[in-house]
């Protein structure tokens, strides 16, 4: 019975919908080697299912593209051929769709720039606007020849580290299908492979706006944002690595609009790593902190007090 309970909790973890309490419960359960092995089996099953669903999405995209081209032919519109550069960059089905989508969005007469990495390969890119990008393996990035003149917009698939130059008049926009990231100047890591069930963005500096159709979310320094490609929902976590407890308290005060007092100076200078789901209630966060740390958090009138246990 307990195995079934942990299986269900693991499924919420894979979907990116796990609560802070269940995440701690799963972490404790995985300390046993046999549980870790079982978890890897469940994860492998989940990935295979996600890949199968991604294949269905790819098939649907091809059908949509074919229909679009048929309509263009009937209306006698001129279809510009793909350049050899895009063909070579589109060896896999997902990358082919990426290249075709890029080609369809290009203004007439323009040839796009496209960079691609293979397995076990990385590539450093220096853009004309001063932005720097490190493409990880099996990733693609493309943009129009007039990038930076009026707009700064790129198409992307895979995983990369972005260091974006500031330009308030021309926001830097990264598009992954209907999912996009808009930045002015910041640093972050974005993972969005076509077969991923969850896209992730880890923001190390600055602020960005993530959007899917009409839904949007603002992320700040230290946030980790997940986008579930099946449920089409965002989820934000506060990721803090080697942070003082006093600094974490300050961030929680801003995030939840509460006042927290730390009565112990030694405790306030405690260094810790913690991951908090910001869609959890403040009470859930307090319960998780009390489980992870030897502390007690009590409510006193209009504020909270944190003390050693």
167 shares its domain with 199: yes
In a domain, 270, yes or no: yes
State the total domains in the chain.
3
Judgement on whether residues 119 and 227 belong to the same structural domain of the protein: yes
End-to-end CA distance of the chain: 34
pLDDT of residue 94: 45
Residue 94: DSSP 8-state: H
Q: Is residue 156 located within the same domain as residue 220?
A: yes
In a domain, 271, yes or no: yes
| 245 and 222 within one domain | no
Low-confidence ranges of the chain (pLDDT < 70): 1, 47-48, 50-111, 240-242
End-of-domain residue from the set 197, 231, 265 = 231
Q: What is the CATH number of the domain that holds 258?
A: 3.55.50.30
Task: Based on the fold, state whether residues 202 and 287 are members of the same structural domain.
Answer: no
Query: Are residues 188 and 206 located together in one domain of the fold?
Result: yes
Other beta carbons within 10 angstroms of residue 109's beta carbon come to: 7
- Domain extent at residue 59: 1-78
Q: Are residues 147 and 221 in the same domain?
A: yes
Q: Which of 193, 210, 231 is the last residue of a domain?
A: 231
Whole-number pLDDT of residue 136: 93
pLDDT of 124 reads: 94
Answer whether residue 197 is part of any domain.
yes
The confidence score (pLDDT) of residue 51 equals: 57
Contact 173, 154 (CB under 8 A): yes
**Are 134 and 224 members of one domain?**
yes
Is the domain of 142 the same as that of 199?
Answer: yes
Are residues 120 and 50 part of one domain? no
Q: Does 262 reside within a domain?
A: yes
Question: Do both 227 and 298 map to the same domain?
Answer: no
pTM over 0.75: no
Q: Is the dihedral of CA 90, 96, 100, 102 positive or negative?
A: negative
3-class state of residue 244 by DSSP: strand
Query: Is residue 297 assigned to a domain?
Result: yes
Please name the residue that has the structure tokens 């076509």. Answer: 194
Contacts of the segment 31-35: beta carbons below 8 A, 24+ positions apart? 35/6
Backbone torsions φ then ψ of 278, nearest 5 degrees? -75, -10
* 158 and 220 share one domain: yes
Residue by residue, what is the 3-state secondary structure of 276-295?
A: EECCCCHHHHHHHHHHHCCE
Residue at a domain's end among 78, 100, 122: 78
Look at residue 20 and tell me if it is in a domain.
yes
Q: Report yes or no on 102 lying in a domain.
A: no
Please, is 11 exposed, middle or buried when counting C-beta atoms within 10 Å of its C-beta (0-12, 13-18, 19+)? middle
């Amino acid at each position: 019975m307990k195995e079934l309970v942990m299986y269900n909790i693991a499924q919420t973890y894979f979907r990116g919908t796990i609560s802070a309490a269940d995440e701690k419960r799963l972490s404790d359960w995985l300390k046993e080697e046999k549980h870790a092995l079982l978890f890897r089996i469940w994860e492998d099953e989940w990935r295979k299912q996600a890949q199968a669903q991604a294949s269905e999405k790819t098939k649907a995209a091809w059908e949509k593209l074919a229909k679009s081209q048929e309509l263009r032919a009937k209306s006698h519109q001129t279809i510009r051929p793909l350049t050899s550069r895009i063909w070579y960059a589109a060896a896999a089905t997902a990358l082919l769709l990426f290249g075709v989508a890029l080609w369809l969005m290009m203004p007439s007469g323009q040839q796009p720039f496209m960079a691609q990495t293979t397995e076990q390969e990385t590539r450093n890119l220096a853009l004309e606007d001063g932005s720097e990008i490190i493409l990880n393996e099996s990733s693609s990035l493309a943009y129009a020849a007039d990038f930076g003149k009026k707009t700064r917009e790129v198409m992307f698939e895979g995983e990369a580290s972005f260091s974006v130059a500031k330009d308030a008049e021309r926001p830097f926009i990264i598009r992954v299908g209907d999912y996009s990231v808009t930045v002015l100047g910041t640093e972050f890591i974005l993972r969005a492979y076509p077969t991923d069930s969850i896209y992730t963005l880890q923001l190390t500096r600055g602020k960005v706006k993530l959007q899917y159709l009409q839904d949007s979310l603002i992320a700040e320094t230290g946030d980790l944002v997940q986008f579930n490609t099946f449920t089409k929902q965002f989820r934000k976590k506060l990721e803090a690595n080697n942070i003082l407890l006093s600094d974490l308290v300050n961030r929680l005060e801003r995030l939840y609009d509460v006042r927290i007092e730390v009565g112990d100076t030694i405790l306030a200078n405690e260094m810790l790593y913690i991951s908090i789901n910001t869609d959890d209630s403040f009470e859930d966060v307090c319960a998780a902190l009390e489980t992870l740390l030897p502390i007690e958090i009590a409510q006193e009138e209009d504020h909270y007090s944190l003390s050693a246990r």
